[in-house]
Amino acid sequence: MLELSVSDDGVGFGNATGGSGIGLANIQERLGNLNRQQAKLVLRALPDGGVAAILHLPLRFPPET
């Protein structure tokens, strides 16, 4: 399993941008197509402000020959 985490110390989820929100929905759909049980994106508000985005991806290795 590969876990990639990116965080910032900005204002967090408090300020809505008024966007369409299709970007996150697109990522969730693509991750579901990879592996619905293991691939996921988690967005988490941090206690002192900011947001952490954590991406979980299953690692697949080609079979040995």
Q: For every one of its 65 residues, what pLDDT tens digit does the chain have, with 9 covering 90 and above? A: 899 999 999 988 776 666 677 888 899 899 888 776 788 999 999 999 999 999 998 887 767 77
**Per-residue H/E/C for the chain:** CEEEEEECCCCCCCCCCCCCCHHHHHHHHHHHHHHCCCCEEEEEECCCCCEEEEEEECCCCCCCC
* pLDDT computed for residue 53 by the predictor: 94
pTM (2 decimals)? 0.73
Sheet-wide strand order for 51-57: 2-7, 51-57, 40-45
* pLDDT computed for residue 34 by the predictor: 78
Name which of 65, 55, 40, 58 is nearest 7 in CA terms.
Answer: 55
